[in-house]
Amino acid sequence: MTTQNPAVRVRFAPSPTGYLHIGGARTALYNYLYAKAVGGTFVLRIEDTDLERSKAEYEALQIEDLKWLGIHHNEGPDKPNPKYAPYRQSERGEIYTKYAQQLIEKNLAYYDFCTDEELEEMKKRSELEGGDPRYDGKWKNPEFNAEAKKRVAAGEKCAIRFRAPDKAYTLNDKVKGEVTYPEGMVGDFVIVRSNGLPVYNYCCVVDDMLMEITHVIRGEDHLNNTVRQLMIYEALSAKPPQFAHVSLLIGHDRQKLSKRHGATSVNLYKNEHYLPEALCNYLTLLGWSHPKETDIFDKEELFDIFDIERFSAHSAMYDLEKLKWVNGQHIKKLATPDLLKLVEELPETEFLKKQTPAWKTAAVESAKPYVHFLNEIPVFINNTFLKESFEMTDALKEILGWETTPKIVDYIHGEISKVTTEYITEVELNGWMDHVKKELAIKGKPLFQGVRATLTGQDHGPELKLIIPLTPVNVLKKRVSELKK
C-alpha cells in the first residue's frame, strides 16, 4: 500500500484551446491516481492566458471529457477553495503583476522596451555568430533603470524580462533521475509580455507556489522548461515541487504522437464507443507498470498501489490495436446487465426494444467474446439472431460444397418446416444433431460446420446451443429455404 500523505497536492493545468488531447488525459490520470493513492488533493487549473485561442466551450468540453473518464478533481473553477482561488489564469492577472513587481524591485527582473524588429535583429545576429537566438541584454544594464521606470510611469507598454543567473542547476527528477542544466543554457527571458500577459514558465511557477503544489507530474516535453522554472522558484524564495517528467507518447514511426497516428483527442474515442475504463487502463500502462504485471484493471484498483517510482523513463509506443484489444477485454469484464444498459443507449438499437429482457441479456452475453466496441454488439446481435439473409462468403461456399452438407440442409429443412413455436429449444437442436450423426452418418467437422452453415449462414461463431434457441424460427426457416433454392 502506498504511504498516505494528505499534504500532497498535484495539479492538471490544460489550456482550453481545443479538445482534450490523449496525452493530456494521461497526465491528468497520473495526477489523479497519485492523489488518490496518497490521500492528497487533485487540482484542476485552467491555463487560459492565450486569449486568442482559449475558449470557454473548450474548457467545458475538456472538463466533460475528464468526467467521462472518471477523473474527478477536488479543486478547480467549479470547486474553488477560497485559499487558492481563482483557478483560471485569466482571472489571476493582479497576482502575476504583484510578483513581477517584486522581482523588479529586487533587481531580479527588468523592463524591456525592445521592439519586435530589434529582437529579430538580435536573433539574426546570434545565428550569424553561430550561437542560439538570444537576447543581448540591452535593457538589463543598470544605466537604463531610470529611463525604463520613467517610460513605464508614462504609460508606455513593455515586456518584463527575468535575469537568468549565471549558474548551473540540477533537477532530481522522479523519472529521469538527476538532470543538470549547464551555466548559460538560457539567457534572460520574458516573464510578462508587452501586452501585460504572463508567459507560461512564469505564471505556472507563481500558481504552483501559491496553490502549494507539492508534485508536478507532466510530460517530458516540459523538461527543458524546468530550468527557467527553477530559476523563478529560487528568485521567489520558494521551494520547488517534486518533478516527475513522464515519457512521451510516440507512434510506430517513433515520432511524437500526432493526428497522423490516429485519434488523438478523448472526444473522438468517446464517439468511437470506447469504454472510459478501457481508455484509462491503456493510458495508465503507457509509462507506468503494474506491480503484478497485470494488463487489465479498473483505475479504482490502483488507488492503493499507484506509485511514482513505477514510472518508466522510456518513450511509450501508442498502439491502437493494443487499445482495441484492451477495450474488448473490458467489454468481457462488464456484468451483462450493465453492458446491456450501455448497448441500449446506442442510437442503432431500436430493434432490441421488441425483445424480452431475458432474450436481450442472453444475446448480449453471447456477443461478448466477439466484439471490441459497444457499437459492434447490436450489429453482432442483428447478424447472428435476426438477419434472414446472409452473405455467401468463400468459407461458406466451401462448406456448402461438401458432399455431406446438402444432406444436412435437406434434413433440417424438413424438420424446421414442422415447427410451430416461435423458438426451438436446445433439446430439439440436440435431436437434430443426433439424427445427422447417427442416421446420416455425418460426424466431426462436417457435422458441426454443416449444421452451423445451414442454420446461421456463417462458418464460425458462438456455440449453436447458445444462439439457435435465441433465433426466431421464422428467421431460421428463411435461411434454410434460401439454401434449398
Q: Is 259 a catalytic residue?
A: yes
How far apart CA 302 and CA 279 sit, in angstroms, is 15
Helix (H, G, I), strand (E, B) or coil at 434: helix
DSSP code string of 201-256: HHHHHHHHHHTT--EEEEEGGGGGGHHHHHHHHHHTT-PPPEEEEEPPEE-TTSSB
Residue entry with cell 485552467: 46
Contact 450, 413 (CB under 8 A): no
Contact 316, 287 (CB under 8 A): yes
Q: Name the strand (E) or helix (H) holding 214.
A: none
Sheet holding 109-112, edge to edge: 109-112, 159-162, 189-192
Beta bridge partners of 42: 10
Report the 10 Å Cβ neighbour count for 19.
17
Contact 4, 39 (CB under 8 A): yes
Q: What is the largest CA-CA distance in the chain?
A: 110
Length of the chain: 485
**Could you give the angle at which helices 405-416 and 473-484 cross, rounded to 10 degrees?**
140
Among 359, 349, 405, CA closest to 385: 359
DSSP code string of 37-65: HHT-EEEE-B----TTT--HHHHHHHHHH
Among 276, 377, 367, 375, CA closest to 327: 276
Catalytic residue among 259, 292, 354, 485: 259
How far apart CA 374 and CA 334 sit, in angstroms, is 11
Residue 226, CB-side half-sphere exposure with 13 Å CA sphere:
27
- Long-range contacts (CB closer than 8 Å, 24 or more residues apart) made by 259-262: 261/318, 261/320, 262/318, 262/320
| Residue 382 backbone phi and psi in degrees, to 5 | -65, -45
| Residue 43 backbone phi and psi in degrees, to 5 | -105, 135
Task: Provide the b/e sequence for 288-304 (b: ≥16 CB within 10 Å).
Answer: bebeeeeebbebeebbe
| Residue 190 backbone phi and psi in degrees, to 5 | -70, 135
DSSP state of 183: T
N-terminal to C-terminal alpha carbon distance within the chain: 67
Active site residues: 259
